[in-house]
Each structure stands twice: as C-alpha cells, then as structure tokens.
Amino acid sequence: MKQNFDKLMLNELEGAQGKRLLLHSCCAPCSSHCLSELAGKIQTTVFYYNPNLDCREEYEKRKSEQQRFLRETGLAGFLDVDYCAEEYAAAVIGLENEREGGARCAVCFRLRLERTAREAKAGGYDYFATTLTVSPLKNAQLINEIGFAVAEKVGVKYLPSDFKKRGGYLHSVRLSEEYGLYRQDYCGCAFSKLAREGQKLSAFWEKLGLLPSVKTRAEEVWKGCGAELSALPLEAWRNLPYEEGAAALKGALGQDEDGMKLFAAQSLQALEAKREYAARGIPEDVFFATMAFLSRFANEAFERSGRPAWTWGWWFPRQLALREFRLGALEFELLEGENGEKGRISVHIPAGADLTEGAVDSSFAAARAFLQAHFPAYEGTPFVCSSWMLSPALQEILPETSHVRRFGARFEVVKWEEDSPAFRDWIFPEAKDASQEDLPETTSLQRAVKRYLLAGGKLGWAEGILK
C-alpha cells in the first residue's frame, strides 16, 4: 500500500532535534534541497557512497562538488569511502540488460542503503536516509520499502522521505543554479549513461532531419555497439589533427561496411563539441546548421543507393574540431598559416546552397561578424575558395544572370587546373565516369557544360581569393 512518506518524515522529525542522521547522497544537486529541508530539525552528516558511478573521474567530480557545497553552506558534516566500482559490478551481474528503473536499479538502491545503514550503526547514528527520493525519475515507494527492510536487517532506524514533494526537486534545481553546482544528466552508472546518450543521439538526429530509414539504422548500430563506442576516448581523438583522429577512430571500430558505426561515433563526438560551442558562446543555431553536414551526406547516400551509408567521415573532423562552420548559405573553414604566414578562411559551397546575391552577401557578413566575436585572431583574414565554380570557363559558358557565374566572379583566380576532372563529382555526380557523349543533360548547367566539353573546352578546377 502506498504511503505518504513525506508526511511520515515530517512526523518523525518533530522530535528529532539533537538526534543524528547519516544521509546517503548521490550528488551535491540532489542533496541541496534535502539538507535545506533537514536543517534545524536533525543533526546531519552526508555519506558519499556511490560505487555505481561509471568511472573514477565522475566519482571524484561529484564528490568534490558535494564537499564544496557543504563548505559553502555548513549544512552538514561529510563522510565517504573510496571509489569501489567492483562492489556495484558484482551486485548487478546478470542484470546488465534490465531497463532503467527495473531490477538492476533496485539492487543498486539496496547496495547503497545497506552500506549507509551499516555505517550509521557503526557510527552511533540514530537514523539513516537517502537523497535519492528527490528525483522525479526515482521510485520513492520502492526506495522507502528497501530502506525499511534494510533497517530491520541491520538494526538502525530508517528515516523515510519523498524529498521531491512540496516542490523539492525544483528547489534543488534552483539551489544548483545558485551555487553553480555540476549537474549531471544521468544517474551515474554506465547503463544509465548509455541510455541517456542513446536518447540524446536520437533527438540530435531528429533535429538534423535524418531520414527515417537512416535514423533507424543509426539507432540499431548504437543499440548494438553503443557501450563499445561510449568507452572510446572520443573527446581526445576529436581534438587530434584531422587525419590522425579519424584514423584512430576507424581503427578502433574495426569492420564497418556501411560506415554507420563511424556515423554513430562521430555523432557522439558532435555532442561533445556542442559543449565547446556553449563554452565559447557560439549560438546553438550555428551548431545545428554546421552539424547538419551529417544528415546532408547521409541522406544523400540513402537517396542514391537506397541503403544507409556514411562515407564522409574523413571530412567531418573539421566540424567536430570547431574549425569549420555553416553560416548562412556557405561553410567557412579556419586554416592555420604555414611557415609564419597568416591563416586563411576557406569557403566551401554546400550542395543546394542558395547562391543568390543577397544570400551570399549575408553569409559573408555573418562570417565576418562570427570571426570577430569568436575567433578574433582570424579577423581580416582573406577568404579563399577552391571549386569548379571558380573556373574561368564558366564566365564564358553561363549567362550573366547565372548565380554560379556571379559567385565565381567574386574571386580573383590564382590557380586553374584545366585538366582536373573533379568538377564531374559535383556537376554530374551520377555519371562522373561517363564519356562526354553520355553525360546527362537534366539541368541547364549540365547542358551548357556538356556542350562546352564536346566543343573541346576545358572546365577543370580553380582556386581564388575573394576580391
């Protein structure tokens, strides 16, 4: 039968002044409201015991925040034990595939509450309790049932609670903001972290507009090897030189025929990059516009072949390392100078980009403002472009009203590789290896270029500097 554990706690606390409570805490944010609620009613010591945390780094980070909060508020004393992940690992053997909130979580609650009760008894405390009930995601009924059972087993009194009641959870959020507490978005164990990452990836792919079939395949891949991907040093590899980081990642992934393991791993790296965007104050809309590189090429591959595939993992490290950004119609890559030379901004033209005069002007204006605000070392740096669109031949082939011709005319050509066939990948993507006679004539651009080639002209590839 369900009980009002909040009322039971308040009744118990009415005569508890002068008595001692050992309060198990999972983290500083959850403890914040609980301790403020208990202040003046009972003498409290926080017991930090969380062997479920997925790594020592997370354990120490939460512990440090807990200690800082207690120093700044003086609301309780502090007691802890060393990180002992093996205790949790042994307790949940056979429960690895349980859902969040299921049997594995019940075992975790019992493990932590029983250790807290034993410490309370050994230390002469009158009660033991836990902050876990402040979370709206935790089953307070189950936690309290376990608490009472443990109390009977160990022989020390349990203080029931439902700390989220009476606005407790929202109060913990406000206190976390007030004290600047590190507030994690998963309970702490590797299983919850994996589930949370899967949810964030699905929402990310949805936001990017990934086609349903491609998204389903990506989710299947994550379900099959998410634990493996999550354990990789993805953040360290994200910050390596492009080729080195991509090679390390691909080498760790092993067999990946359709490239979708790489797609999932790089999507996870993109979410890490999102934190750096926020730290630099870069707007979220720039992040999503830039990372849409993922969906653009993954969707295009599916539309061409009817199968999900990711073949652009070699280029994507630029976006992941915060070196390339989509700002309006165009993409801008920050290039470092060589041999003491000043850096440059390489302009890339996404397929289907709006090349009308107003859209291009707006994109360059956005880039200049962006650099000034976030990468001032690149302010005033020349814009360069390497593309078939800069081929001088297009100034002859296309009419003056052509957006492609007008875009090319913005640049002073400094290099023209007349014999390069690279233009075929972009103008004739589905027939790039065809003979000139067999090239398609679907678009006006294709027809104009084909006529020019058949007449003996050369298009090639060119590089230029913005005038």
Instruction: Report helix, strand or coil for 386.
Output: strand
Largest Cα–Cα distance of the chain, in whole Å? Answer: 99
- Give 340's pLDDT tier (boundaries 50, 70, 90): low
Beta strand 461-466 pairing with 383-387: antiparallel
Who has greater pLDDT, 29 or 186?
29
CA end-to-end distance (rounded Å), the chain: 78
The pLDDT tens digits for 270-328 are: 999 999 999 999 999 999 999 999 999 999 999 999 999 999 999 999 999 999 999 99
Q: Which amino acid is at 395?
A: Q
- Give 213's pLDDT tier (boundaries 50, 70, 90): very high
- Distance CA(293)–CA(297), nearest Å, equals 6
Q: Are 195 and 185 in contact (CB under 8 A)?
A: no
Label residue 339 exposed, middle or buried (CB < 10 Å: 0-12, 13-18, 19+).
Answer: exposed
The pLDDT tens digits for 365-401 are: 999 999 999 999 999 999 999 999 999 999 999 999 9
Element (H, E) at 324: strand 324-327
The pLDDT tens digits for 318-339 are: 999 999 999 999 999 999 887 6
Please tell me the predicted confidence (pLDDT) of residue 192.
Answer: 81
Looking at the DSSP assignment, which residues form a beta bridge with residue 412?
Answer: 465
How crowded is residue 298: how many other Cβ atoms within 10 Å of its Cβ? 27
- Distance CA(74)–CA(381), nearest Å, equals 53
**Which position has the token pair 């539309």?**
303
Q: Are 77 and 31 in contact (CB under 8 A)?
A: no
Percentage helix, strand, coil, to 5, in the chain? 55, 10, 35
The residue length of the chain stands at 467
- Paired tokens of 176: 């976390």
Q: Are 388 and 423 in contact (CB under 8 A)?
A: yes
- Distance CA(144)–CA(159), nearest Å, equals 9
- Distance CA(169)–CA(36), nearest Å, equals 12
Looking at the DSSP assignment, which residues form a beta bridge with residue 46?
Answer: 23, 78
- Paired tokens of 457: 């002209």
Element (H, E) at 80: strand 77-80
Task: Say if residue 342's pLDDT is above 80.
Answer: no
Which domains occur in the chain, in start order? Answer: 5-188 (3.40.50.620), 190-322 (no CATH)
- Distance CA(55)–CA(431), nearest Å, equals 51
State the average pLDDT for the chain.
Answer: 93
pTM of the entire structure?
0.76
